[in-house]
Amino acid sequence: MIQQLSRRLMYIVAESRSIKKLATKHGMKDSSGFARRFIAGETSEDAITAIKDLNGMGMSASLDLLGENVKTIEDTHKARDTILDLLALIKSNNVDSHISVKLTQLGLNIPDKGLKVCKDNMQAIVEAAEKNNVFVRIDMEGSGCTEKTLGVFRYLHKKYGESVGIVLQSYLYRTESDVREMNKIGAKVRLCKGAYLEPEIIAFQKKKMVDLNYDHCLELLMKDGNFPAVATHDNRLMDKAKEYAKKHDVSPEKFEFQMIYGIRRDVQRQIIKDGYRLRIYVPFGKEWFPYYTRRLGERIDNLTFILKSIYLETPDDKDTV
Ligand SMILES: Cc1cc2nc3c(=O)[nH]c(=O)nc-3n(C[C@H](O)[C@H](O)[C@H](O)COP(=O)(O)OP(=O)(O)OC[C@H]3O[C@@H](n4cnc5c(N)ncnc54)[C@H](O)[C@@H]3O)c2cc1C
């Protein structure tokens, strides 16, 4: 209930131009800017520095150039070119990182030509990624994009196979059936709970039901999937992943945990200590505001963290926040 309210509040904030302007001015102004907690920086170089630190701690990364719902074809080409440069940087710096991409950044929602533009952009990205030996994960966005995103993924998967993977969200009723389909075609799936505000007609509203569906889909992925990525900060579900891996004879090299940059860093270190694979989702770029408000909406404590850092100028850096 509180989580739903906090998500709704953050959606209102995300729509506000004046708050965006204010936040963008102050959030990343220096290393103590409040947005630095969840965002690695505004440039590709900032992102590579963050990855080097994570790699040094035994963690892999997945880099995400922030930006979504791009409105013009020209802007989708700019995003594509930045991602292509990023792939070259990953290679030249010899860092251990995938990339994560959002299809609405590459044209998916542009009327008429959008789908074709998006597919062309993605082909250029996956081809370059293959050459550089970097895996591409397609993030899943709001439900208005689910079917179109899966359509583009199916097309790319047929053409490029295991170089590209997808994300499914346990809050959607349809996800069990999507998991079964992805298992059948041998697709690599990242399972998450889902970060958008969705209506009751298509999505579980109660956290308990979202968690139950996660648990169920997780077992299906461990049993029949291809290198499942368990994306959650929920200890109970992480324990379930270990339990299902044992039950279905999946060794720790055959799946990975994934967590978000800046969230539960104590747990992140423990996963590595326990001998499991961990990949950190590392967002960077100038368009950080919508992503950032989604992270805030997931936990009420994050809001108090921001208020403290703005008004008291003593950011609380507790690892569990
Ligand atoms: C690697 C990765 C990739 C993702 N990709 C996508 C995607 O493509 N599409 C999509 O819709 N969603 C994505 N998500 C977000 C996901 O759907 C959830 O919104 C988010 O992870 C919170 O759910 P949870 O599983 O951590 O569980 P929750 O039950 O929400 O949280 C469990 C515990 O984790 C901690 N926690 C969780 N979130 C936060 C936070 N923001 N700040 C501080 N502490 C927190 C808290 O201690 C909380 O009690 C991704 C998540 C991860 C980890």
Structural domain boundaries of the chain?
Answer: 1-39+288-321, 69-82+104-276
CA–CA separation, 309 vs 296, rounded Å? 14
Looking at residue 1, its pLDDT comes to 59
Say whether 139 is catalytic. yes
Residue nearest to atom 30 of ligand 1 (CA): 298
Token pair in block for residue 112: 């008429």
> In this structure, what is the dihedral angle of CA atoms 91, 102, 267, 5, given to the nearest 10 degrees?
160
Closest ligand 1 atom, residue 233 Cα: 26
pLDDT 10s digits, 180-216: 999 999 999 999 999 999 999 999 999 999 999 999 9
Asked if the model's pLDDT at residue 78 lies above 80, the reply is yes
Nearest CA to ligand 1 atom 43: 321
pLDDT digits 0-9 by tens, 47-74: 999 999 999 999 999 999 999 999 999 9
- Token pair, residue 53, equals 């630190």
Closest Cα partner for 106 from 114, 119, 118?
118
Q: What is the pLDDT of residues 227-275, one digit of tens each?
A: 999 999 999 999 999 999 999 999 999 999 999 998 999 999 999 999 9
The mean-pLDDT minimum among 25-34, 72-81, 148-157 falls in: 25-34
DSSP annotation of 172 reads: B
Lowest-pLDDT range, 95-104, 116-125, 312-321?
Answer: 312-321
- Give the pLDDT of residue 15: 64
Residue 312 has pLDDT above 60, yes or no: no
- Closest atom of ligand 1 to 232 CA is 25
Query: CA 28 to CA 35: how far, in whole Å?
Result: 6
The tens digit of pLDDT for each residue in 155-182 reads 999 999 999 999 999 999 999 999 999 9
Would you call 112 exposed, middle or buried from its count of C-beta atoms within 10 A (0-12, 13-18, 19+)? Answer: exposed
What is the pairing mode between strands 60-65 and 278-284? Answer: parallel
DSSP structure string for 91-111: HHTT--EEEEE-GGGTTTTST
Alpha carbon distances (Å) from 213 to 169, 196, 245, 277? 9, 16, 17, 23
What does the pLDDT average to over 276-303? 84
Tokens representing 231? 């994306």
Q: What does residue 77 show for φ and ψ, rounded to 5 degrees?
A: -70, -35
Query: Active site includes 8?
Result: no
Of the candidates 64, 139, 178, 211, the residue annotated as catalytic is 139
pLDDT of residue 290: 80
Q: Which residues contact 150 (CB under 8 A, 6 or more apart)?
A: 166, 178
Residue that the structure tokens 């292509």 belong to: 84
Higher-pLDDT residue of 23 and 198 is 198
CA 205, 206, 211 angle in degrees (round to 5)?
110
**Residues shown for the chain:** 321
Residue 3 has pLDDT above 70, yes or no: no
Of all protein residues, whose CA lies closest to atom 27 belonging to ligand 1?
Answer: 234
On whether the CB atoms of residues 250 and 278 are closer than 8 A, the answer is: no
Q: Is the dihedral of CA 104, 161, 196, 306 positive or negative?
A: negative
Instruction: Write out the two tokens for 193.
Output: 């709970």
Tell me the whole-structure pTM to 2 decimals.
0.91
What is the spatial distance between Cα 36 and Cα 165, in angstroms, rounded to a whole number? 28
Residue 306 tokens read as 């921001």
The active-site residue, picked from 80, 190, 264, 279, is 190
Helix spans in the chain (H): 2-15, 17-26, 44-56, 73-92, 114-131, 146-160, 175-185, 207-224, 235-247, 265-273, 289-297, 300-311
Under 8 Å between Cβ of 54 and 61? yes
Higher local confidence (pLDDT), 298 or 139: 139
Mean pLDDT, to the nearest integer, of 37-56?
94
How is domain 69-82+104-276 classified at the CATH fold level? TIM Barrel (3.20.20)
Q: Taking residues 68-96, what's their average pLDDT? A: 96
Which DSSP category does 3 fall into?
H
Q: 315: pLDDT confidence band, cut at 50, 70 and 90?
A: very low
Q: Which residue has the tokens 């709001």?
A: 142
Please list every protein residue whose CB sits less than 6 Å from any atom of ligand 1. Answer: 139-140, 167, 169, 192-196, 231-234, 258-260, 263-264, 281, 295, 298-299, 302, 321
